[in-house]
Amino acid sequence: MRRSGQDQTNPAARPVLNRILDSDLTHSFLRSKVTVAAATGTLLFFLAALLAPLIAPHDPFDLAGLSIMDARIPPVWMEYGEPRFLLGTDDQGRDLLSGILYGLRISLIVGACSVFAAAAIGIFLGLIAGYAGGKTDALIMRIADVQLTFPAILIALLVDGAVRGIFGNLDREVFSFWILIFSLALSFWVQYARTVRSSTLVEKNKEYVQAARVTGIPSIIIMVRHILPNVLGPVLVIATINLALAIVTEATLSFLGVGMPSTQPSLGTLISIGNDFLYSGEWWIAIFPGIALALLVLNVNLLGDWLRDALNPKLR
Amino acid sequence: MLGFALRRLVQALIVMLAVALIAFSMFRFVGDPVNQMVGLETSIESREALRESLGLNDPLPVQFARFIGNAVQFDFGTSYQFRQPVADLFAKRIPATLELSFTSALFALIAGIPMGIYAGLNRESWLSKLFLSVSLIGISLPTFFIGILLIFLFSVTLQWLPSFGRGDVVEIGSWWTTGFLTVSGLKALILPSITLGLYQMTLIMRLIRAEMLEVIRTDYIKFARARGLSNRVIYLRHALKNTLIPVITITGLQLGSIIAFATITETVFQWPGMGLLFLQAVQNVDIPVMAAYLILTAFLFVSINFIVDILYFLIDPRLRVKQA
């Protein structure tokens, strides 16, 4: 957020930190209590995911530490609950709290990687479409239009099925992760491409691009070094909002049984496992991971909404 | 008007062709169709004979043309996992999905519109704030988790409503089955419809609220007030009418999403519809069923978009003026 003239005339005079603290963005952030809470919540979730191996009371992947005798123990405050397992255990005797912490880690990694991959595809195609124009532009944008008529979840399901069809019986434990990221990236690239294309169309007629072109710099370098940095702003907003969407979509795919396998459970896989025990009264196996997922998505959504409004000059 | 409709029609046809091409490539290049249809002990000669009889040795454009010709006649080949014609499988399941989607859309409209009007007119009341907070939570909860929560509350704990299936269905005509006519069928519809419609309901509510806030500030509403019309007439006759234009668009477009998200809801509630069939196809890499589902949903989406565009044109006079 650039401020008015006086800052720009003498930018070096003020320390960077002060300028950040005094920016419109910081003010708008601190004014909204909900946003501060959402940011804190998101940060806590990220920290919990990052530090899962350190703070989790048990290691859910350590098969030697599991005992079938510990299976389906209710949370500690219920009858038959044990203090060893704060939120109870699942059907294989894994501690649910540790499972959620590690699941959070997997959900966030898949979410972040797929957002990154989708943004990369979208930025690449958007830049080319906007800069080249003509038939290339028309082709890329028609593909984008066709894809936009379908919800992302359908595309992710189709891609997932097709990839597994092409590669036959791949080792699911190894490849589920990559297939997931690939299908999620293919489902979400359109928004980035459209945004980047429209800002590229504006940028490419500005003087600095024309100057670069006159001096004979190759198109590819103009695109990457000159235009790209100027079109990245809106991409950041879309990425934040899409992170929540990607996490939900990943959880949904895992819940439907085409996402992460039960040996590397994401939050969606945990809910899917727990769903089988809902009817026999072991509600905690599905409900606690679900609450964690919902809180995570709610926090990221709130943060994304604020970022969108704060960076949108129309709403000021 | 005619030119507008024609242009839209051509665009829709191009989209359908593109989707058909994707479906065809999936069918043709993902795995080998012949290997999927025969057993392990089939000889190479009979494999070749089958390949020839399926026309898989013809040039690709010819194959694509035949694929489209068949698809237009609802012939999508044979399912790899069920060994039955794909069209029959879908025909049996379409009623279930359509009834579920229709009920969800109805629920979303009936609950969403009054809540939106109330929240738009009484901005500061605690009930409006409650509506908004609930809608925020509704947007953040994944569909499948809403389903699980509802099952846990109403089926497992309270035991009021069934948690899976369609209940008793009645046959109408040769192939349509309906759950609307039996008590157990209606009871079975409640939880899946709420699960599927909740997101759309929050969307409609937020939309109507935002539109209401905007419309009641306009001059013609002020004028209506100056004429001494009652609040009831102003809000329901004059204001609501103008908020409905975007609602029609969004509802129409969301109808497509409802059918797509039915896949998730149908899985949670074991609802015997198209979505459940599609999901089984994805899990078992049953390409003909996947390709058919892709084409069918694309057809639904494109038709809905087309109808919404035309409706929009009919409802909003400004568009007509611009065209003329």
Chain A residues lying within 8 Å of B298, measured CB to CB: 149-150
Could you read off the pLDDT of B213-249 as tens digits, one per residue? 888 888 888 888 888 888 888 887 778 777 777 777 7
A252 → closest Cβ in B26, B142, B152:
B142
State whether B163 and A279 contact (CB < 8 Å). Answer: yes
- Quote the tokens at residue B39: 């057993």
DSSP string, B258-312: HHHHHHHHHHHTT--SHHHHHHHHHHTT-HHHHHHHHHHHHHHHHHHHHHHHHHH
Q: How far is B214 from chain A (nearest CA, A)?
A: 15
Q: How far is B107 from chain A (nearest CA, A)?
A: 21
In a domain, residue B240? The reply is yes
Chain B residues lying within 8 Å of A294, measured CB to CB: 137, 140-142, 145
Indicate whether A257 pLDDT > 60: yes
> Closest-CA residue in chain A for B143?
A252
pLDDT, average across residues A76-97: 73
Indicate whether A9 pLDDT > 60: no
Chain B residues lying within 8 Å of A302, measured CB to CB: 136
In a domain, residue B254? The reply is yes
In a domain, residue B107? The reply is yes
Return the exposure string of A222-257: e unless at least 16 CB atoms fall within 10 Å of the residue's CB, then b. Answer: bbeebbbeebeebbebbbbbbbbbbbbbbbbbbbbb
Q: For residue B178, list its beta bridge partners.
A: B170
State whether A294 and B290 contact (CB < 8 Å). Answer: no
Chain A residues with a Cβ under 8 Å from any Cβ in chain B = 142-143, 145-146, 149-151, 153-154, 157-158, 160-162, 164-166, 168, 244, 248, 251-252, 255-258, 271, 275, 278-279, 281, 283, 286-287, 290, 293-294, 297-298, 301-302
Mutation site for A-interface testing, chosen from B11, B144, B149, B277 by largest number of A Cβ within 10 Å: B144
CA A155: distance to chain centroid?
17
The dihedral built from the CA positions of residue A184, A264, A268 and B163, taken in this order, carries a sign that is positive
Q: List Cβ<8 Å contacts ≥24 apart for A135-139.
A: A137/A197
pLDDT, average across residues B118-126: 85
Mutation site for A-interface testing, chosen from B8, B282, B283 by largest number of A Cβ within 10 Å: B282
Could you read off the pLDDT of B64-98 as tens digits, one per residue? 888 888 888 878 888 888 888 888 888 888 888 88
Chain B residues lying within 8 Å of A257, measured CB to CB: 283
d(CA B252, CA B250): 5
pLDDT, position A187:
86
Chain A residues lying within 8 Å of B15, measured CB to CB: 145-146, 149
CA A26: distance to chain centroid?
23
Q: How far is B30 from chain A (nearest CA, A)?
A: 5
B290 → closest Cβ in A146, A158, A258:
A158
- If one counts the domains in chain B, the total is 1
Q: How far is A11 from chain B (nearest CA, A)?
A: 41
Chain B residues lying within 8 Å of A149, measured CB to CB: 15, 256, 298, 301-302, 305
B145 → closest Cβ in A143, A168, A293:
A293
> Closest-CA residue in chain A for B28?
A166
pLDDT band at A314 (very low <50, low <70, confident <90, very high): low
Picking from A55-64, A259-268, B124-133, which range would have the lowest pLDDT averaged per residue? A55-64
Could you read off the pLDDT of B136-174 as tens digits, one per residue? 877 788 888 988 888 888 888 888 888 777 777 777 777
In a domain, residue B267? The reply is yes
pLDDT, position A166:
76
CA B233: distance to chain centroid?
34
What average pLDDT does the structure give for chain A?
A: 81
Chain B residues with a Cβ under 8 Å from any Cβ in chain A = 14-15, 18-19, 26, 29-31, 136-137, 139-145, 148-149, 151-152, 156, 163, 256-257, 260-261, 263-264, 267-268, 278-279, 281-283, 285, 287, 290, 294, 297-298, 301-302, 305
State whether A256 and B302 contact (CB < 8 Å). Answer: no
CA A178: distance to chain centroid?
15
Q: Do A49 and A108 meet the contact criterion of CB atoms below 8 Å apart?
A: yes
Q: How far is B221 from chain A (nearest CA, A)?
A: 24
- Quote the tokens at residue B300: 């639904």
d(CA A156, CA A110): 14
In a domain, residue B235? The reply is yes
Q: How far is A25 from chain B (nearest CA, A)?
A: 23
Could you read off the pLDDT of B165-202 as tens digits, one per residue? 777 777 777 777 777 778 788 888 889 999 988 888 88
Coil vs helix vs strand at B176: strand
State whether A294 and B140 contact (CB < 8 Å). Answer: yes
- Beta-carbon pairs below 8 A across chains A and B: 117
- Which CATH number characterizes residue B239's domain? 1.10.3720.10
Mutation site for A-interface testing, chosen from B134, B148, B159 by largest number of A Cβ within 10 Å: B148
pLDDT, position B320:
64
> Closest-CA residue in chain A for B33?
A165
> Closest-CA residue in chain A for B260?
A154
Containing domain of residue B125, as a range?
89-273
- DSSP classification of residue B81: T
So what's the ipTM on this one? 0.80
d(CA A243, CA A153): 14
Instruction: Give the rounded percent of residues in chain A with a pLDDT score beyond 70.
Output: 85
A252 → closest Cβ in B31, B144, B151:
B144
B148 → closest Cβ in A153, A258, A286:
A286
What is the residue whose two structure tokens read 């649910």? A96
Q: How far is A130 from chain B (nearest CA, A)?
A: 22
Indicate whether A315 pLDDT > 50: no
> Closest-CA residue in chain B for A267?
B145
pLDDT, average across residues B252-272: 83
In a domain, residue B115? The reply is yes
Report residue B174: phi and psi, to 5°.
-85, -30
Indicate whether A316 pLDDT > 60: no
pLDDT, average across residues A144-160: 80
Could you read off the pLDDT of A18-42 as tens digits, one per residue? 777 777 777 777 777 788 888 888 8
In a domain, residue B67? The reply is no
In a domain, residue B105? The reply is yes
Q: How far is A139 from chain B (nearest CA, A)?
A: 12
